[in-house]
A = this chain, B = another copy of it.
Amino acid sequence: MSDAEGTVPLARLLAMAYGDLIDQLHARLRADGWADVRPAYGFVLLATRAGSQSLTELASRLEVSKQAASKLVESMVAADYLTYVTDGGDSRVKGVALSDRGRRLLAAVEGIYADLEAGWAELIGARAVETMRRHLLTVVRARHDGELPTVRPPDGR
């Protein structure tokens, strides 16, 4: 589809651009030796970066069921991106925190994103990249009472 068929909706462009960035992110992670990173891991790392949280809290942030969150975390613990921690003395609560390897992965992801954005800056200009960032922040915050939401795993279901 070309724009000879009219203006391309922003939603499609956002989807394409996002898909490209994610494809490139994972390609570079694999090239750098991060072979076992599933797409959903990024959302968990982001949700956990500020500190440990319970499975139930994580499930809520990701907008999935407790069991889905539990299985996701289980596989990330097995891959040593997360670690279980004791959290506040309540034996019911299973605390989840970034492991050292998880922090390194998060740093790698952020480095690659910076790199990809530098590529965008070459195409459209560094100022345009910052303007786009600012405008996207504005429209997203407008929908979330001024805050940024966590991003749930995308669901085609």
Binding site for B on A (CB under 8 A): 1-3, 5, 7-22, 25, 38-40, 46, 49-50, 110, 113-114, 116-117, 120, 123-124, 128-129, 131-133, 135-140, 142-143, 147-157
B124 near A1: Cβ-Cβ < 8 Å: no
A39 near B1: Cβ-Cβ < 8 Å: no
Using Cβ atoms and an 8 Å threshold, which residues of chain B touch A9? 110, 113-114, 117
Using Cβ atoms and an 8 Å threshold, which residues of chain B touch A17? 14, 136, 139-140
Taking the closest CB of chain B, its distance from the CB of A102, in whole angstroms, is 16
Give Cα A21–Cα B139 distance, bound, in whole angstroms: 10
B140 near A13: Cβ-Cβ < 8 Å: yes
B110 near A139: Cβ-Cβ < 8 Å: no
A10 near B16: Cβ-Cβ < 8 Å: no
Using Cβ atoms and an 8 Å threshold, which residues of chain B touch A120? 10, 139
Give Cα A114–Cα B142 distance, bound, in whole angstroms: 18
Q: Of the candidates B3, B11, B117, B149, which one forms a contact with A16 in the assembled complex, judged by CB atoms under 8 Å apart? A: B149
Q: Which residue of B lies closest to A151 (CB)?
A: B15
Q: Of the candidates B7, B14, B153, which one forms a contact with A14 in the assembled complex, judged by CB atoms under 8 Å apart? A: B14
Q: A1-B46, A13-B133, A124-B139 given as contacts; is B110 within 8 A of A152 (CB)?
A: no
Using Cβ atoms and an 8 Å threshold, which residues of chain B touch A3? 137, 148
Q: A50-B1, A123-B142, A148-B8 given as contacts; is B131 within 8 A of A131 (CB)?
A: yes
Give Cα A109–Cα B135 distance, bound, in whole angstroms: 23
